Structure 1
C-alpha cells in the first residue's frame, strides 16, 4: 500500500473481510447502545430510497428496534418515503419496505418545498444549476427527516458507508447529515454481503447505485459520476492493489472532499500558520 492508502484505510475502518453474523450483531449493538445511552430517543428515523444502503440500514434499524422493545425499551423504527414528485424507482422503494417491515411509514413529497426554494432563490437573483438543485433535494430530504425526528423524539440514521465516505459522494448537510451512521466501516461489497446474509431480495442489493438527484441525468450511475468502479474502491479500502488510474481517481476524490468529513472549524480548531 502507498502511504496515503494506508492512512485512508485506517481512517475508513474497513476490514479486509467480514464475518456476516458477527458484523450484523455488532452494528445492531451499536444502534441499541446509542439509543440506550440517550433517554430521549424513542424512534429511529431513516429515509428509504430503494437502494442497497438504505435497505441495509433500514433492516438493521428494524432489527435493533425489535430487540430494544423485547428488552423493555419502547423504541420504534420509522421509515420515510421522500419522493420528488413521482419517483422513478418507486417499485424498489416498496419492495425495500416490504422486506424491512418497518414499525411505521411516513411519506413526504419534497417537490413543493424544493421547487419553492429554487424559485425563491431565483427571485433573489440566484439561479441554481441542475446539479445544485439536486443538492437542494438531498438537503430537503434530510431536513424532513430531522423534523420528523424532532416531532417523534427520535434520531436520524444515516446511510453513509466507507466507500461513499472516501469519495465524498454525498451532499454536505444533506444525505451526509445524521445522528448516527451505522454502516461506516463497511465498503459496498460488504454491504451487499450483509444483505445476502439477511435474505434481502436479490434485485435490491444488485440494483445499480445511483443518487438520482439530477433531472438532466436521471438515474445516473454512481460509478459513472465518480469515474471509478465500486469494485476498485472496495479493493482500495481493503488494502489491495488497484490500477494506477483508479488509485489516482480515488485519492483525488478523497483529497478534494476532505471538507465534507470535517465539522465546522472555530478559531480555536483551525490550524495556525
Structure 2
C-alpha cells in the first residue's frame, strides 16, 4: 500500500469490506441517537435528487424516523425536498426514489429563479459568471432552501457525502457540503450500492451513471469525467488495493488539493495546513 493511501483510508475511516446490514444499522442508530440527544429537533430534511447517495441517505433516515415513532413521545418526520433547476431531465428517477423512501412529506423548491437572479446580480456588479461559477451557485441556493425548511420544521439537514466524494472535496463548500449530519461518511461508492441493493431499492437508482448535473453547457456530466478517475479505481484505492500508478497519483493529487473542503473554517490554532 502507498504511504499516503494508508493515511487517506484512515482519515476517511473506510473499511476494506462491509456487511451491508451492519452498516445500515450503524447509520440508522447514528441518526436516532443524534435526534434523541438533541430533543429540539423533530424532523430530518433531505434533498432527494434521484441519485444513489440521496436515495440511500433518505431511506436510512426514514427507517430511523419510523423506529423512533414506534412508541412516540415526539412525532418525528422525514421531509424530502425536491430541488430541480427548472425541469429535471431525470425527474422519473427522483419520483422513483421518493416512492422507495416514502418520506412523511415532500416539498419542492425549484431553484431556477433564485439562481438566475443571483447570477444576474453578480454580472451587474461586473463579475463574469461562467458555467462553472453558476454551477457552484446552484447547490448553495439548494442549501439555503433546505435550512429554511429545517428551521420551519425544527429539523436537521442530512448530507449525502461519502468517502468516494470526500477524498476529492467533490462537493460544493457551503452548498451540498453544508449539512448537520452525514450518515454515509466512511462508505465508498460500491458499498453504498451494496446497501441499496440490500434495502431492495429499484435497480435503476443504484446502477445509473452518477452525475452532479450542475453545468448547463454539459448537462448530466458523469462524475467520473469530472473527477478524471473512475469510481471503481477510487473504491479499490480506498479499500487498500493496488491500482495503476497514474490513477493513484490522480486520487492523491485530488485529496491533497481539496484538504480545505474537509475542514471547518481555519483559525490561528489550526496547524493541519502548515
- TM-score where L is the length of structure 2: 0.98
| Matches of 2:170 and 2:164, distance apart in 1 | 9
Matches within 5 A, 1:43-58: 43-58=43-58
Q: CA shift at 1:271, angstroms?
A: 6.7
User: In the alignment, which residue of structure 2 is the partner of 1:223?
Assistant: 224
User: In the alignment, which residue of structure 2 is the partner of 1:242?
Assistant: 243
User: In the alignment, which residue of structure 1 is the partner of 2:65?
Assistant: 65
Question: Secondary structure at 1:70's aligned position in 2?
Answer: coil
Question: Secondary structure at 1:125's aligned position in 2?
Answer: coil
User: Is residue 2:105 matched to residue 1:104?
Assistant: yes
User: In the alignment, which residue of structure 2 is the partner of 1:16?
Assistant: 16
- TM-score where L is the length of structure 1: 0.98
Q: CA shift at 1:22, angstroms?
A: 1.1
Q: Structure 1 residues 227 and 123 mapped into 2: Cα distance closer, same or farther (>3 Å)?
A: same
TM-superposition CA deviations, 1:42-62 (whole Å, max 9, x none): 100000010000000000001
User: In the alignment, which residue of structure 2 is the partner of 1:31?
Assistant: 31
User: Is residue 2:189 matched to residue 1:200?
Assistant: no
Matches within 5 A, 1:1-273: 1-72=1-72, 73-269=74-270
Answer yes or no: is the 8 Å Cα contact 1:9–1:238 preserved in 2. yes
Consecutive unaligned residues of structure 2, counting only runs of 5 or more, are none
TM-superposition CA deviations, 1:53-109 (whole Å, max 9, x none): 000000000110000111323211000000100111111000100111111000011
CA-based RMSD: 1.1
| Matches of 1:270 and 1:122, distance apart in 2 | 37
Which range moves more in the overlay, 26-35 or 69-78? 69-78
| Matches of 1:71 and 1:239, distance apart in 2 | 43
Q: Structure 1 residues 103 and 134 mapped into 2: Cα distance closer, same or farther (>3 Å)?
A: same
Q: CA shift at 1:14, angstroms?
A: 0.9
| Matches of 1:270 and 1:115, distance apart in 2 | 39
| Matches of 1:159 and 1:127, distance apart in 2 | 31
| Matches of 1:239 and 1:10, distance apart in 2 | 10
Answer yes or no: is the 8 Å Cα contact 1:83–1:110 preserved in 2. yes
Question: Secondary structure at 1:247's aligned position in 2?
Answer: helix
Consecutive unaligned residues of structure 1, counting only runs of 5 or more, are none
Q: CA shift at 1:270, angstroms?
A: 5.0
Moved segments of 4+, more than 3 Å: 270-273
TM-superposition CA deviations, 1:153-183 (whole Å, max 9, x none): 0010000000000011111111111000000
Q: Structure 1 residues 180 and 70 mapped into 2: Cα distance closer, same or farther (>3 Å)?
A: same
Number of aligned residues: 273
| Matches of 1:31 and 1:63, distance apart in 2 | 10
| Matches of 2:71 and 2:241, distance apart in 1 | 42
Answer yes or no: is the 8 Å Cα contact 1:118–1:127 preserved in 2. no
